[in-house]
Chains A and B, each alone.
Chain A
Amino acid sequence: QKEVEQNSGPLSVPEGAIASLNCTYSDRGSQSFFWYRQYSGKSPELIMFIYSNGDKEDGRFTAQLNKASQYVSLLIRDSQPSDSATYLCAPEGGTYKYIFGTGTRLKVLA
């Protein structure tokens, strides 16, 4: 079992819809969870991080964390074509060793 699992996609959603990106992890010691966005040929950039169970909202983005289920998700509301990218999940277990999932490729159709 991989440490961090994501559906590779592509996940295709129409413009204006909600995109839901999911990530499961195996390390129960994971304390913080990071979502990065990576455009093709570019370096990853942080979208959101979450520490506590529940939801955290930032603009059109909402991160959801359920530690009991070892599950973290990212919702993108009112999806735009500019949101088309690969989204990478990275849990962190207190050792500052960041292991990434394989990423989910999102395509927002105009």
Chain B
Amino acid sequence: DADVTQTPRNRITKTGKRIMLECSQTKGHDRMYWYRQDPGLGLRLIYYSFDVKDINKGEISDGYSVSRQAQAKFSLSLESAIPNQTALYFCATSDTSRGTGELFFGEGSRLTVL
């Protein structure tokens, strides 16, 4: 089983719909991140959280919101989806207690907004 699980893996929706992407982890890490990936643009940081009470905006937070329901869960919401939010979304985790700072990624959620 994956240590960082994203649901749904694929979603097709229509413009204006509310969408939630969920991420859960069994690694016990304190830091969690949401990235989106578009062809030719690499990974862009949307939001990141260092613990349940600490949530920070990333490079491209407009149009998105997040919720850290527990240390193990970090959800990304699109309140009113638009076509240019069509992308591959990755959740990632990292652990303050480890020296490397390595990010561990989920398998991704592919979102298509029609």
Q: Which residues of A does B touch, CB under 8 Å?
A: 6, 8, 32, 34, 36, 42-46, 49, 88, 90, 92, 96-103
Contacts and interface: CB of A to CB of B under 8 A. Distances in A.
A97 B45 contact: yes
B103 interface: yes
B90 A43 contact: yes
A98 B105 contact: no
Contacts of A45: 105
A92 B50 CA distance: 15
Closest 5 CB pairs of A and B: A102-B42, A43-B105, A100-B43, A46-B102, A103-B42
Contacts of A49: 100-102
A44 B43 contact: yes
Nearest to A104: B42
Contacts of A101: 42
A44 B35 CA distance: 11
Contacts of A88: 42-43
B15 interface: no
A43 B43 contact: no
Given A34-B102, A99-B59, A102-B41, 13 more contacts: A6-B42, A34-B101, A43-B107, A44-B103, A46-B103, A88-B43, A96-B94, A96-B101, A97-B48, A97-B56, A98-B33, A98-B103, A102-B42
B102 A100 contact: no
Contact of B106 (A32, A43, A102): A43
Given A96-B31, A96-B94, A97-B56, A44 B105 contact: yes
Name the residue among B33, B59, B105, B107 with the largest chain A CB count within 10 angstroms: B105
20 contacts: A34-B101, A34-B102, A36-B103, A42-B107, A43-B105, A43-B108, A44-B43, A45-B105, A46-B100, A49-B100, A88-B42, A88-B43, A96-B101, A97-B45, A97-B48, A97-B56, A99-B59, A100-B42, A100-B43, A100-B45
B16 interface: no
A34 B103 CA distance: 9
Interface string B33-66: 1010000111111001010000010110000000
